[in-house]
Amino acid sequence: MTSSMKMETAGAVSKTHNDMSSDTTTILDNSNSSELDPILGQEVAIGSIDAELRKLWAVDKARTNACLINFAFYSEQKGSLTLNSRIVSELTRDHACRALLIEMDRSASQPSLRAWVTAHCHLSQGKKSVCCEQIAFALTGVSRGRLRNTVFAHLSSDLPLILWWQGELSPIFEERLYSVIDRFVFDSSSWSNPQASFTIIDQAVHGSKRPLVIQDLAWTRTYQYRLALASLFDDPLAQQNLSHISQIEITHHPLHRNSALQLLSWLATQAVWRQGLELQLTVSHNHAQRESYHFEHKTGESIQATLISDEQAAPIAQLSITGGPMSLVVNREPSSAHIHMRLSVGDHITETLAPAGCDDCAMLIGDQLARGGK
């Protein structure tokens, strides 16, 4: 994702929460009002948001307002504004943005809307503070038009919009919302009915009048495993035995079954096994903590794949592939920062370590932003 960068000189800081002598985060606020939240900042009237933001940058020229993207966080969980403000504080160390935090209570009978403004600042090369604006919105009721007409009216113009949807997909996700989004981020691991939610997202992708990039964090979690597997198959002996693969096992944590399914789907697609086969998200071959899927090589030879659920395991704990004389294993111990790769073909054995990547959603997003969205 490419974009221009917006820069402005910053204003007075009436209150800081950290020592600015080191590379730490500060939160700008306007202490002239009593309606001050220590995390979310200054509560303001909706019509005064832009004016209050300008006040943050009115005096102190040692601070710079930086913005490469609009980054919106949407959640229907109570207390999410505070949690997401802390996430923004960390993400803005490396990724300049205007952050819009949205907490929605759809069960409330009466519609309401409150807003807070603040900024997160980080010391740049020990000389100048680079700051990113944050606007937090608390909405109640079911008036869907408020997201686009009121909340998204405060986007930084001409910059792309990333929306991180947290939790189950709800009726709020509709054309009026996704038509303004450039990248839609979610974690299907938390969904109770992923098949229905993916159907809605697929309709959005094909129905949107503008390109909509999809990022499932359940898929992002498999990134290092995909890299590891690809590197092992760079070995000529592994390539020679690709057509002899007969068994696959993937061990995963119960909360990350979707990641295991997506990893298996990717492997089947890359190896061109049984064209047209779809992995159902409802299990048809299930026994205890094991579920089985069957594939075929182009030659018709059978491949059995088994997903094993283990509550003590890492999100993706182990991928093992066997066939003919070849044994290939990629595994990770719980909480380990590395994955171990081992390839054995007869007397030929190779072993190596690679980074395991992150499990936390915010860190996964940060890593992907650092890779330019790849």
Tokens of 234: 């760079």
Q: Rounded to whole angstroms, how far apart are CA atoms 246 and 124?
A: 54
Split at pLDDT 50, 70, 90, the class of 55 is: confident
Split at pLDDT 50, 70, 90, the class of 60 is: low
> Can you give the pLDDT at residue 43?
95
> Can you give the pLDDT at residue 275?
52
Highest mean pLDDT among 126-140, 143-157, 348-362: 348-362
**Chain CA centroid to CA 73, Å:** 11
Specify the range with the lowest mean pLDDT, choosing from 10-24, 128-142, 166-180, 238-252: 10-24
How large is the average pLDDT for residues 292-313? 93
Tokens of 173: 């996700």
Residue at 246: amino acid letter: S
Q: Which residue has the higher pLDDT, 114 or 94?
A: 114
pLDDT above 60 for 2: no
> Can you give the pLDDT at residue 32?
44
Q: Residue 358 half-sphere exposure, CB side, CA atoms within 13 Å?
A: 11
> Can you give the pLDDT at residue 29?
40
Q: Rounded to whole angstroms, how far apart are CA atoms 310 and 188?
A: 19
In which residue are the tokens 């993400």 written?
91
DSSP 306: E
How large is the average pLDDT for residues 194-198? 95
Tokens of 26: 């500060």
Rounded to two decimals, the pTM is: 0.84
Tokens of 130: 């680079």
pLDDT above 90 for 291: yes
In which residue are the tokens 């601070």 written?
63
Residues 6+ apart with CB under 8 A from 170: 76, 106
Could you report the per-residue pLDDT of 77-105, keeping only the tens digit for each?
999 999 999 999 999 888 889 999 999 99
Give CA separation, 151 vs 100, 134, 337, 344, in Å.
Answer: 8, 12, 39, 56
> Can you give the pLDDT at residue 357?
87
pLDDT above 80 for 27: no
How large is the average pLDDT for residues 190-211? 93
How large is the average pLDDT for residues 240-245? 95
Q: Is the dihedral of CA 365, 367, 371, 374 positive or negative?
A: negative
* 222-358 CATH: 3.30.360
> Can you give the pLDDT at residue 347?
95
pLDDT above 70 for 19: no
Q: Rounded to whole angstroms, how far apart are CA atoms 76 and 170?
A: 9
Q: Rounded to whole angstroms, how far apart are CA atoms 318 and 311?
A: 13
> Can you give the pLDDT at residue 62?
59
Tokens of 142: 């079911």
Q: What percentage of the chain exceeds 90 in pLDDT?
A: 66
How large is the average pLDDT for residues 6-32? 39
H helices then E strands: how many in the chain? 10, 20
> Can you give the pLDDT at residue 286?
63
pLDDT above 80 for 219: yes
Highest mean pLDDT among 9-13, 183-187, 281-285: 183-187
Give CA separation, 82 vs 79, 137, 212, in Å.
Answer: 6, 11, 28
Domain boundaries, the chain: 6-217+363-370, 222-358
